[in-house]
Structure 1
Amino acid sequence: MAADGNHVTVLTTNARRVSDFWQPSTSEAPSLPAHEVLDGVVVERLQLIHPWPAPYRFGLLRRAGLWLHLCRLPAGLVRPAQQHLSRWMPPLRGLSNALRQWGPEVDLIHADDSSWDGLLLAAATAARRYRKPLVVRPLMHLGNAWVQSHHAMAHQVSVYRDAAAVLALSQREAAAIEALGISPQRIHIIRMGVEPEIPVSPETLDTAGFRREHAVGGPIVAFVGANTYDKGAFALAEAVIQLNLEGLPLDLVCAGPQGEGLRAFLQQQPSEVQAVVRDRVHILGIVDEVTKHRLLGACNLFALPSQVDTFGIVFLEAWLHSKPVRQRWRNS
């Protein structure tokens, strides 16, 4: 858009990692600038704040809102309390001022990922104040009741009902949104897609080189996404370890954020499996697009046994490389 001559401003935060939302960053990297221009795009970063008792405040307030939802009290009672709690989801300095500055100038307000309910409600408030159409893409996670409640609390549902449109990624998500009392006429399925060509040249892809760089000679199971329990990284690591112990040698290569949580989980495993962990589980952390496609090109199987995803676009990216895909749906 900027290359076409449009004025583009991105309003974001100074977070480098997900954990920065609830605790001060421990990164040794310099702080991100509050204002900069990247390739013609103006980037404005709002500062995250961490009031006492950080890092516990974020989790405590989140659980309080979910507890109100799961108690099944009347929505009219819990909605005001959840709206109040959402002010710290995430705790941003200057969000209201930024929306007052930009709200009158835009033609449409789009709220993405309703689990960040503070941003969702801020967007809804700005849409009402400046009489702009609001489009919401909840990105609902469709696991058990606890997982679904992150997107189905009373104050979130009230925003969906008032929105001009609610976007779903799949028929399953659309059905879950409609079950919350949202008119099906307002729900639009915008399916995921990728360009039909691998965006990396064969020379750059160099899958044999990727294997050499990571000292992997046999079959590779690839995982791309947040390295968390809900995404299935822990279960997949356990499965790969067990298969190795049973005599089937294969390597797991994980790419994505929150690798420190997976490392901590693996360090807690029994001593007799630590050699397998050391030799067969590779945690790359956050990688660039080229490295991601090199991994997908080099692997023998892509697995994302997530309990929560609506639909992962990385499935399509793995299919671009003609790789078999293993996923998991959980309906209860």
Structure 2
Amino acid sequence: MLKILLVVQNYTPSVGGTQTFFQHFAENCVANHGDEVTVITTNSYFGPDKKQFKLIKEVYAFIKGVHVKRFPFYRWHQPVCRLLAKIAYRILGQVPEWINNYLSGPWSPQMINAITRSDADVILAGTSNYLYMQYPLYRQKLQQPKPFVFQGAIHFKEDKTIQVISRQALAAIAASEYYLANTHYEKNRLAEMGIAPENIAVSGCGVHLADFVEDEGHAFRQQFGIGEDEILIAYIGRIEATKNIELLLTAFTQAAQIQPNTKLIIAGYPNPDYYQRLQGIIQGYEAHVQQKIHILTAMPHQQKNALLHAADIVMQPSFNESFGIIFLEAWACKKPVIGAQIGAIVSVVDNGTNGLLFHPNNAANAAEMLLQLITNGPLRLQMGHNGYQKLIANYTWDIVAATCRQTLIQAKEKFYVS
């Protein structure tokens, strides 16, 4: 049995890829290994670096055997830091790391105190640029320092000259016992930056197949007036600028001109400004095109599963991903996927086998990929089946959690031997 401390910026009922990863890993350790797992997190539904704030009132929770402790964090300084960042960028052409650190946060003395006083055997924390991720840099000053596994989920850019991780975060990774990468692409990029490859474990993300068994796709199509002969394309994820949804709209409208028997549903939690921008784009289309597009916000989990079953194609146009868990969720429902041909996604989706990849920021090429699947039912079925086979071989939670837990065990052994 392990006594594990997990540190993460947000935790269920907050929704997102990182939240899902930490929740399912925690619950798997409790259910399958009898581990004692504590989660330290913020009291917010949204990341501490977001302008939006929505309070989670429950300070302590016991969720499926996992102890969850939520802490407040300062927010008053963020407008000041944003202003300083703008001034610094205009004068220096870059933003000093200390400003970005306090923008990312969370700036929470109570949270840091709880981490430093933990009696856990090992700590797993994520993600890369948050203040608490600097623990490996100062832990030797503590009375009871702990072994530390760094889960970065770094969204590397294709352009290697763009710095996406701070020097301090890179130093913290180097000082950690192990780094937990989502993909081999992430591992290779870190190795290029000087992190020892033998200290990087690749876990990926996971899904519970049981969550996707119930097929309510037919009822979903009826609810939204989607005919059985119509091809439904679905996007599921945060509705924000980094997800590149404008490209999806452009690609969809181009494909729909050639194959009009199509519809598009965009589903997820919206950034208000970006949501308005998308609405403005859609309102600029002709009426018959507008009728083909639905945007769903605040969609309950069960409806999300119904949409995945209802869809013929699942598309994720984002140019900034560390993995892309929606691909796994689509494969759990045996659906083909389309994504951007960027490093992290190339590590997950096998182009031409379980999905198609388009050239980044190339809407015409994305439309070509859509048309390949819209016009070829057998290909959609084959790719969906291939994706399902890859999922059950690599990305169930039992498989992913076993890799993560073994990494924690190795981190503990490494720390106390050295």
TM bin, normalised by shorter chain, reads: 0.7 to 0.9
CA contact (8 A) 1:219 1:299 kept: yes
> CA shift at 1:213, angstroms?
2.0
Match of 2:337 among 300, 325, 330: 325
| 1:308 paired to 2:320 | yes
Distance in 2 of aligned mates of 1:62 and 1:128: 31
Q: Which amino acid aligns with 1:182?
A: I
Relative to the length of structure 2, the TM-score reads: 0.64
Task: Work out whether 1:150 is the aligned partner of 2:147.
Answer: no
Indicate how the Cα distance of structure 1 residues 309 and 24 shifts in structure 2: closer, same or farther if over 3 A, else same. Answer: closer
Query: Do 2:112 and 2:132's aligned partners in 1 also have CA atoms closer than 8 Å?
Result: no
1:258 aligned residue: 270
Q: Residue 163 in 1 paired to residue 176 in 2?
A: yes
1:15 equivalent in structure 2 = 44
- Contact 2:314-2:336 within 8 A present in 1 as well: yes
Question: Structure 1's 233 and 61: CA in aligned 2 closer, same or farther, altered over 3 A?
Answer: farther
1:191-210 matches, cutoff 5 A: 191-195=204-208, 197-202=209-214, 205-210=215-220
Does the CA contact (< 8 Å) of 2:37 and 2:67 recur in 1? yes
- 1:82 and 2:97 aligned: yes
Q: 1:252 to 1:24 in 2, by over 3 A?
A: closer
Shift of 1:219: 1.6
2:76: which partner in 1? Answer: 51
Gap runs ≥5 in structure 1 = 72-77
Partner residue in 1 for 2:116: 100
1:10/1:270 CA distance change after superposition, 3 Å: closer
Segment drifting more, 293-302 vs 136-145: 136-145
In the alignment, the residues of structure 1 paired with residue 68 and residue 158 of structure 2 have an alpha-carbon distance, to the nearest angstrom, of 37
State how far apart, in whole Å, the 2-side matches of 1:225 and 1:270 are.
18
Distance in 2, matches of 1:147 and 1:13, equals: 32
Q: 2:163 & 2:146 partners in 1: Cα distance? A: 28
Q: 2:198 corresponds to which residue?
A: 185
After the TM superposition, which of the residue ranges 180-189 and 287-296 deviates more from structure 2?
A: 287-296
* C-alpha deviation, 1:300, in angstroms: 0.8
Alpha-carbon distance change, 61 to 7 in structure 1, aligned in 2, over 3 angstroms:
farther
Supply the AA of the counterpart residue of 1:208: H
**What is the identity percentage for the equivalent residue pairs of Structure 1 and Structure 2?**
23
Equivalenced residue count is 311
State the Cα distance separating 1:273 from its structure 2 match: 0.8
Q: Distance in 2 between matches of 1:68 and 1:171?
A: 38
Structure 2 residues without counterparts, runs of 5 or longer:
1-28, 344-359, 361-418
Calculate the aligned-residue CA RMSD, in Å.
Answer: 3.4
Give the CA deviation at 1:5.
6.3
Give the whole-Å Cα distance in 1 for the aligned partners of 2:70 and 2:161. 29
What SS does structure 1 have at the residue aligned with 2:328?
helix
- Supply the distance in 1 between the matched residues of 2:154 and 2:92 (Cα, whole angstroms): 16
Partner secondary structure for residue 329 of structure 2 = helix
Letter in 2 for 1:215: G
Structure 2 CA distance for partners of 1:131 and 1:64, relative to 1, 3 Å: farther
The alpha carbon displacement at 1:209 in A equals 0.5
Cα distance change of structure 1 residues 38 and 137 upon mapping to structure 2, 3 Å threshold:
closer
Residue matched to 1:294: 306
- In the TM superposition, residue 180 of structure 1 has moved relative to its aligned partner by 0.8
SS in 1 for 2:281: coil
Letter in 2 for 1:279: Q
Partner SS, residue 125 of structure 2: strand
